[in-house]
Structure 1
Amino acid sequence: MTFISYAQNFEDIRLWRAFKFFENGFYIDVGANDPTHDSVTKAFYDRGWSGINVEPMQNFHDALRQQRPRDTTLQCVASDHAGELTFYGIADTGLSTADPIVAQERKAAGLQVQSLTVKARTLTSICEEHAANRPIHFLKIDVEGHEETVLRGMDFSRFRPWIILIETPWNRDHTWEHLVTDAGYRNVLFDGLNSYFLADEHLHLKPAFDIPPCNLDDFQLCKGHNLAHPLTPHLENALQRAEHAEAQLRAMQNSRAWRAVQKLRNLLRRA
Structure 2
Amino acid sequence: MTFISYAQNFEDIRLWRALRNVENGYYIDIGANDPVHDSVTKAFYDHGWTGINVEPVANYHQSLCEQRPKDTNLQCVAGENAHDLTFYSIADTGLSTLEPTVAQQRKDAGMDVRSHTVQSRTLTAICEQHAQGRPIHFLKIDVEGHEETVLRGMDFSQWRPWIILIETPWERNQTWETLLIDAGYQSILFDGLNTYYLAEEHLNLKPAFDIPPCNLDNFQLCRGHTFSHPLSDADQHLAAALQRAEQAEAQLHAIQNSRTWKALHKLRTALRRA
**Considering the TM-score relative to the shorter chain, is it more than 0.5?**
yes
Provide closer, same or farther for how the CA distance between residues 113 and 239 of structure 1 changes in structure 2, counting only shifts above 3 A. Answer: closer
State how 1:59-70 maps to structure 2 within 5 Å: 59-70=59-70
Aligned to 2:228: 228
Return the offset for 1:133: 1.3
State how 1:96-115 maps to structure 2 within 5 Å: 96-115=96-115
* CA–CA separation in structure 2 for the residues paired with 1:50 and 1:113: 32
Aligned partner letter, 2:220: Q
Provide closer, same or farther for how the CA distance between residues 160 and 233 of structure 1 changes in structure 2, counting only shifts above 3 A. Answer: same
* CA–CA separation in structure 2 for the residues paired with 1:92 and 1:237: 17
Aligned to 2:158: 158
Aligned to 2:219: 219
Return the offset for 1:232: 3.1
Aligned partner letter, 2:126: I
* CA–CA separation in structure 2 for the residues paired with 1:175 and 1:106: 23
Aligned to 1:116: 116
Provide closer, same or farther for how the CA distance between residues 62 and 182 of structure 1 changes in structure 2, counting only shifts above 3 A. Answer: same
* CA–CA separation in structure 1 for the residues paired with 2:37 and 2:5: 10
Q: Write out per-residue CA displacement over residues 230-250 of structure 1, whole angstroms, 9 at most, x where no aligned residue.
A: 13336x38978xx9xxxxxxx
Aligned to 1:254: none
Aligned to 1:75: 75
Query: Gapped runs of 5+ residues in structure 1?
Result: 244-271
Aligned partner letter, 1:94: G
Aligned to 1:204: 204
State how 1:119-268 maps to structure 2 within 5 Å: 119-233=119-233, 236=235
Q: Write out per-residue CA displacement over residues 150-185 of structure 1, whole angstroms, 9 at most, x where no aligned residue.
A: 100000000000000000003311010000111000
Q: How many residues were matched structurally?
A: 240
* CA–CA separation in structure 1 for the residues paired with 2:100 and 2:74: 22
Aligned to 2:251: none
Aligned to 1:88: 88
Aligned partner letter, 1:97: T
- Structure 2 length as normaliser, TM-score? 0.85
Query: Gapped runs of 5+ residues in structure 2?
Result: 243-274
* CA–CA separation in structure 2 for the residues paired with 1:67 and 1:207: 33
State how 1:8-87 maps to structure 2 within 5 Å: 8-87=8-87
* CA–CA separation in structure 2 for the residues paired with 1:232 and 1:150: 40
Larger radius of gyration: 1
Q: Write out per-residue CA displacement over residues 44-75 of structure 1, whole angstroms, 9 at most, x where no aligned residue.
A: 00000000000000000000001001100000
* CA–CA separation in structure 2 for the residues paired with 1:123 and 1:237: 37
Range 94-103 or range 165-174, more displaced: 165-174
The DSSP-based 3-state class of the residue aligned with 2:117 is: strand
Aligned to 2:248: none
